[in-house]
Amino acid sequence: MKIELEDLPKLKELFQTLQSGYHLSNEDFGLYHELQDKEGYYEALFRELGYTLKADQRGYYYFLPEPQVAMNVTTRRMALLVFVLIEYLADEGMDPYTGIARGNFSMTQITSGLFSKHADILRDGGLDSPESIEKSILNNFVGLGFATVNGDELRFRPPVNRFLDVCLELGRARVTEENDSKTEAAGGAVTAEEPDGN
């Protein structure tokens, strides 16, 4: 079935939204459902414009960045906050992945808690106060569709799984590396203790 541009009334709005780095999830009712209903058409059209539309099964869409594009300051700070939040929640005895993906947090408690426990690493990443953490959450996480804030309540949206996936991948790589090191060390110890045959 052929589709005409007039059959895609939200094309301009969708393109501008996704091009800005925003991640559309089912909470963005109108735009999300328009994209979902005509996904194949939009995907083909965006491809012609040089953009790759990524549809994640967990319920969100975004433009895949070009492989050669370096991670910008905003993305680095967002990743740092997620990494530190995982550590913080684990220290509090919570399952950080479930907590982030499904929980609600007090913005005040999270920003002050993160800064009090991880001030040095946050300062190194350009976040030098609880207020700067809150500003990053509002401007970046909320501004790009990764979270919502209602009063003092912070809730992450499905796109935060992109950062959680990276954390899980790094964790698996670290475990594999540690296991490889232990195996090498054990192999070296056995070799050193082997009798020389005399």
Mean pLDDT of 140-147: 96
Minimum mean pLDDT range among 27-36, 126-135, 143-152, 165-174: 165-174
User: To 5 degrees, how large is the angle CA 51–CA 54–CA 58?
Assistant: 160
Query: CA nearest 113: which of 139, 98, 140, 134?
Result: 134
**Average pLDDT of span 34-61:** 94
Taking residue 170's Cβ as centre, other Cβ atoms within 10 Å add up to: 11
Distance CA 188, CA 50 (A): 52
- Name the CATH architecture for the domain at 5-64: Orthogonal Bundle (1.10)
Q: What is the pLDDT of residue 86?
A: 94
Domain locations in the chain?
Answer: 5-64, 73-163
Asked if the domains at 5-64 and 73-163 fall in one CATH topology, the answer is yes
Q: pTM for the complete prediction?
A: 0.83
What would the CATH number be for the domain defined by 73-163? 1.10.10
pLDDT given at position 103? 86
The stretch 85-91 carries a mean pLDDT of 93
- Residues 6+ away with beta carbon under 8 Å from 31: 10, 13, 14, 17, 24
166-170, 175-179, 190-194 — which is least confidently predicted?
Answer: 190-194
